[in-house]
């Protein structure tokens, strides 16, 4: 079976959608030369009209995409750095997201915002290492964080075809993954995936942390049976899928690369405990409150949710009750 890298999966999704729909075009910084590699080969194949390099004007080119989408285009905007989303939060949340409701349904804004390399990039320090997906989930913007090459392809394709704005976070820690994928297909937005079934604890893991959760589940296999649930889309969240899992296991841990306060882990736990009587208080493993990733690699790792904390949380919820 052919092996597909996560990065190549994003590239193939862009190429397939550009080929399928003339209204799709790409905007971003250094995308002609494919500085992030996800647009490699696309300039040659689709030309500079549809693979448009932009000046460093994130606010204008984000709203340019909104305007194009208002009249039927399907722009994909690449951001080289996750923190650029802070710069264009207004343009996405206050404009792209609000236009359909504010106009009483006169328009749609089908823009995809793609961040290849979100979260820590070891050594890139405070201003290049954020993972602000919870902000978009809070704002009600469709938000996906694919964990695998197949999901990277399938969710990006679905994002481009979606009639609403969608933010696609491709975690830096997942970009080099490879997997055997014969024929990648679209993955529906808003549907999670159970990567590993288990009976004792449900671990909800976001993005690259799915692989940490699977590794920990394997390590603990003799002691506790861990189910690993990957929501894939954080907003809208697959509540039915998760509640089905937790209803069986009765125990919940969430591992999430957001800052702790108001991160998606808090929302997951709150929603579950509103509807399910757990056998033990749930736990979450996150970045600390207000985290700024320090430069030195040991410090960077110290504020990211890791396997040791996850093992501890699983042990804790397994013991209680």
Binding site for another protein (CB under 8 A): 49, 54-55, 57, 59-73, 75, 90-91, 94-95, 99-110, 140, 142, 162-164, 190, 236, 274
The sign of the torsion formed by the CA atoms of 53, 6, 241, 131 equals negative
- Terminal-to-terminal C-alpha distance of the chain: 45
The sign of the torsion formed by the CA atoms of 113, 117, 123, 126 equals positive
Specify the residue, 142 or 249, whose C-beta has the smaller distance to another protein: 142
Cβ 68 to another protein shortest distance, Å: 4
Specify the residue, 102 or 302, whose C-beta has the smaller distance to another protein: 102
How far apart CA 33 and CA 36 sit, in angstroms, is 9
178-180/166-171 β-pairing:
unpaired
Which entry of 97, 128, 208, 211 is annotated as an active-site residue?
128
Cβ 169 to another protein shortest distance, Å: 19
Specify the residue, 24 or 224, whose C-beta has the smaller distance to another protein: 24
How far apart CA 203 and CA 242 sit, in angstroms, is 10
Cβ 91 to another protein shortest distance, Å: 8
Cβ 21 to another protein shortest distance, Å: 13
48 - beta bridge partners? Answer: none
**Hey, what's the torsion of the CAs at 184, 188, 191, 193, to 10 degrees?**
-10
Specify the residue, 116 or 190, whose C-beta has the smaller distance to another protein: 190
Cβ 39 to another protein shortest distance, Å: 19
Specify the residue, 88 or 293, whose C-beta has the smaller distance to another protein: 88
How far apart CA 117 and CA 104 sit, in angstroms, is 36
In the residue annotation, 128 being an active-site residue is answered as yes
Whether the Cβ atoms of residue 235 and residue 143 lie closer than 8 Å to each other: yes
How far apart CA 225 and CA 249 sit, in angstroms, is 9
Please, what's the largest Cα pairwise distance for the chain? 61
The sign of the torsion formed by the CA atoms of 215, 216, 219, 225 equals negative
Whether the Cβ atoms of residue 259 and residue 232 lie closer than 8 Å to each other: no
Q: Which residues are catalytic?
A: 128
């Amino acid at each position: 079976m052919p092996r597909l890298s996560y990065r190549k999966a994003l590239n193939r999704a862009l190429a397939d959608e550009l080929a399928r729909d003339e209204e799709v075009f790409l905007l971003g910084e250094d995308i002609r030369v494919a500085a992030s590699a996800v647009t490699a080969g696309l300039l040659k194949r689709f030309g500079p009209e549809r693979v448009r390099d932009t000046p460093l004007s994130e606010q204008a080119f984000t709203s340019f995409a909104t305007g194009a989408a208002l009249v039927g285009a399907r722009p994909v905007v690449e951001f080289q750095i996750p923190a650029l989303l802070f710069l264009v939060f207004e343009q996405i949340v206050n404009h792209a997201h609000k236009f359909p409701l504010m106009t009483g349904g006169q328009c749609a804004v089908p823009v995809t915002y793609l961040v290849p390399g979100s979260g820590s990039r070891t050594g890139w320090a405070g201003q290049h290492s954020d993972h602000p997906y919870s902000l978009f989930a809070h704002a009600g913007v469709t938000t996906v964080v694919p964990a695998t090459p197949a999901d990277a392809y399938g969710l990006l394709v679905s994002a481009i075809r979606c009639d609403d704005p969608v933010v696609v976070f491709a975690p830096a820690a997942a970009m080099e993954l490879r997997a055997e994928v014969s024929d990648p297909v679209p993955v529906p937005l808003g549907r999670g995936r159970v990567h590993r079934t288990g009976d004792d604890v449900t671990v909800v893991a976001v993005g690259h942390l799915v692989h940490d959760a699977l590794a920990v589940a394997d390590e603990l296999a003799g002691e506790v049976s861990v189910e690993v649930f990957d929501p894939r889309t954080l907003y809208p969240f697959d509540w039915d899928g998760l509640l089905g899992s937790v209803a069986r296991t009765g125990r919940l841990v969430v591992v999430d690369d957001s800052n702790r306060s108001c991160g998606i882990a808090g929302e997951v736990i709150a929603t579950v405990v509103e509807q399910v009587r757990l056998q033990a208080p749930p736990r979450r493993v996150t970045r600390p409150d207000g985290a700024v990733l320090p430069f030195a690699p040991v410090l960077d790792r110290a504020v990211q949710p890791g396997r040791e904390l996850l093992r501890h949380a699983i042990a804790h919820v397994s013991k209680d009750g």
